[in-house]
Amino acid sequence: MADSAGTEQSIALPSAESSAARVPLWWGILTGLVAAGAGLAAGELVAGMSRQLRSPIVSVGDRVIDLVPKGLKEWAIRSFGTSDKAVLIATIFVVIAIAAMIVGVVTVRGRTDLGIAFAVLFGVLGGSASGIGRNTKVIGVLPSLAAGVVAAGVLVYGHRLTKPRTRPSATPAAPVAQSMLPTAGLNRRRFLVSTGGIAVAAAVLGSAGRGMQGRFNTALERVGVRLPAPKTSLPPLPTDPAVTTEGLSPLITPINSFFRIDTALSFPNVSLKSWRLRITGLVDRERAYTYDELLDRELIERDITISCVSNEVGGGLVGNARWIGCRLDDLLADSGIKPEADQIMGVSVDEFTAGFPVAALDGRDCIVAFGMNGEALPVKNGFPARLIVPGLYGYVSATKWLSEIRLTRFDTEEGYWVPRGWSALAPVKTQSRIDRPGTNIAAGTVAIAGVAWAPALGIEQVEVQINDGSWQATALGPSLSNNAWRQWWISWDATPGQHLIRCRATDGSGATQTEQRADVAPDGATGWHTIRVTVAG
C-alpha cells in the first residue's frame, strides 16, 4: 500500500499477488472462523447419522481428558468443580477459534496450500482422537474427516472471494463499486454475503446434526423403563432430621443434587435393545445378559454412600442413595470365578475401567445397580447399569454405563486411573463433614451439624471441637446401614467473635479419623474438617 500508484492499477485486473497482499486482516479472520464453523457443523451433521459416531468436539475432549496429567485433573476439579467439562469444551472452542483465525489470514493472503494442510491436519487429529481413543471403531473418524474437508473447502472458497470475478466486464457496475471500496479489487459485499450465507447454513446444519444425535440419546430409552419392585425392599425411610435442621444433608441425597464424576464428555448412547452385560475373563462360563434378564433376577435395595477419591476434606463429592439391583456375588457365581482371578474389572460402554479385589465379595452388598432412589438409574449416574461396592472409592469400583464385568488379575491389568497415578487399591477413608452453621451467623443457640461416613464399617461416634476446647460427642441420626452415612448434630451457644469448629468420626472398627492432612492423591484425603465461623455481636 506504500505505492499509491498500485491502487489505481488495481481497478483494472490485479495480479493474484498484489490483491493478496491487500486482503485486510479481518477478512482472513472471518474466513477462518466461518471455515471452522462450517467444518464443525459438518462434523455434527455426520455424527448425527449413526449411533456409532460422535461429535468431533466431544471426541477430542474425551481424548484430552484421557491424556491430562493427574495434577491438572485435580486442579480442574478444585477450580471448576463439576463445571470442569464445560470449561474443557469452552477451551477447545477457543483453541480452534484462534487456530482458525490464523489459518484464515494465511489462506486468504495466498497460502491456500497451508490452509488446506491445516484443515486436513485438524480433521486427522480429530479423527485419530475418535479412532484411537476410547471409541476404537474405525468409522469413528468420519465426523472429524468431514469437518476437515469442509473447512478446507471453505478456506479455499474464501481465498477465491479475494479475487475479482473472472469476467468483471459482464457486470458493468462492478468496477465502479470496487473502486469505491477502501481496498480496491476486493468485493466486500460479495465476501460478506457469501461468508454470511455459509455461517447461516453451518448454524442450521450444525443444529440439525445435534438434533439428529438426540435420537440416540439414552434418556429416551430410560423414559420407558419400569423397574420391578425389589424382592427385599427396605422399610420406608425414618423421619429425616434434615427436615428440621436447615442446611444438614438429607439422609438420602436427591438425584438432582447427587454428585457426578466421570470421564465422559457426553453420555454414552446406550440402546437397551442391543445392550448386554457380559461376564468375561477368568470365569468358567462367559455369559451375556440382556437388561430384561437382569431385571428378572432377584432384586435387592440397599442404602449405600459412595464417594469420589477426589473429594477434599469437607467436600461435596459424596452422596448417599437407595440403590436397587442384583447381587454381584450371585451373578458372578453363575459364571464361576476361576481361582486365579483376583480382580473384578468393571468395563463401561465408553471403555472406562475400574478394578477391585475379588476379595471384596466378602458378603458385603456389592450391587449391579439398575435403580437409584426408586427410579431407573439416571443417565448421568450410569443408566442402564452400574456397579456399587460399599467401602471403595468410585474410581476403583463404581463403573457406570456398565457393559462388561471382566475377571482378571491385578498383575496383568490396571483400571483407568491406576496408570494415571492413583492407587490400585482404594478403600474409602472414614470422613466427617460440617454442613452447618454457615460462616457468618448471629449470636445465640445454633446447631452444628453434618454427616459422617465409613462405608462397610459404619459410624460409631462423631465428635466436635470448638476453639481447641475438649472434644464433645454429638447426637447421631438414624443408621440406615453400615454402608450409609450418618447425620450428626450438637447444639452450640454461639457468642460474638471468631470461632474454629472441627469434627472427627470414629468408625465401626473403633478407629478415629486421623488429624494428619493428606492430599486426595493417590488414595483419598485425610484430616479433620475445620470451619471458621464469625458470630455477629
Ligand X SMILES: Nc1nc2c(c(=O)[nH]1)N[C@H]1C(S)=C(S)[C@@H](COP(=O)(O)O)O[C@H]1N2
Which residues of this chain interact with Mo ion, rule CB under 5 A? 261, 308, 394-395
Asked if omega into 143 is within 30° of 0 (cis), the reply is no
In whole angstroms, the minimum distance from the beta carbon of 355 to ligand X comes to 12
Q: Does 41 bind ligand X (CB under 6 A)?
A: no
In whole angstroms, the minimum distance from the beta carbon of 346 to ligand X comes to 8
Q: Please report, for residues 396, 414, 431, 479, 525, the alpha-carbon distance to residue 427 in angstroms, rounded to integers and kept in the order given.
A: 9, 16, 12, 21, 12
Q: What DSSP element (H or E) covers 315?
A: none
158: nearest Cα among 115, 206, 219, 211: 115
Cα(143)–Cα(46) distance, integer angstroms: 5
Please identify, using beta-carbon distances, which residue of 352 and 370 lies nearer to Mo ion.
352
Q: What b/e sequence results for 231-266 when a residue is b if at least 16 CB atoms lie within 10 Å of its CB, and e otherwise?
A: eeeeeeeeebbbeebeebbebbbebeebbebbbbbb
Point out which span in 153-161, 177-185, 195-203, 399-407 binds ligand X (CB under 6 A): 399-407
Q: Does 249 bind ligand X (CB under 6 A)?
A: no
Q: 259 contacts which partner out of Mo ion, ligand X, none, CB within 5 to 8 A by kind?
A: ligand X
Cell readout for 318 is: 459424596
Q: Does 323 bind ligand X (CB under 6 A)?
A: no
Cα torsion 416, 339, 365, 456: sign? negative
Q: Does 395 bind ligand X (CB under 6 A)?
A: yes
Q: 275 contacts which partner out of ligand X, Mo ion, none, CB within 5 to 8 A by kind?
A: none
In whole angstroms, the minimum distance from the beta carbon of 315 to ligand X comes to 12
Cα torsion 181, 182, 187, 190: sign? negative
295 phi, psi to nearest 5 deg: -65, -25
Q: Does 453 bind ligand X (CB under 6 A)?
A: no
Q: Does 218 bind ligand X (CB under 6 A)?
A: no
Please identify, using beta-carbon distances, which residue of 251 and 321 lies nearer to ligand X.
321
Q: Does 394 bind ligand X (CB under 6 A)?
A: yes
Please identify, using beta-carbon distances, which residue of 118 and 267 lies nearer to Mo ion.
267
Please identify, using beta-carbon distances, which residue of 50 and 423 lies nearer to Mo ion.
423
In whole angstroms, the minimum distance from the beta carbon of 95 to Mo ion comes to 27
In whole angstroms, the minimum distance from the beta carbon of 258 to ligand X comes to 6
Residue nearest ligand X by beta-carbon distance:
394
Cα(341)–Cα(408) distance, integer angstroms: 5
Residues that bind ligand X (CB under 6 A): 258-264, 308, 348, 350, 352, 381, 394-395, 398-401
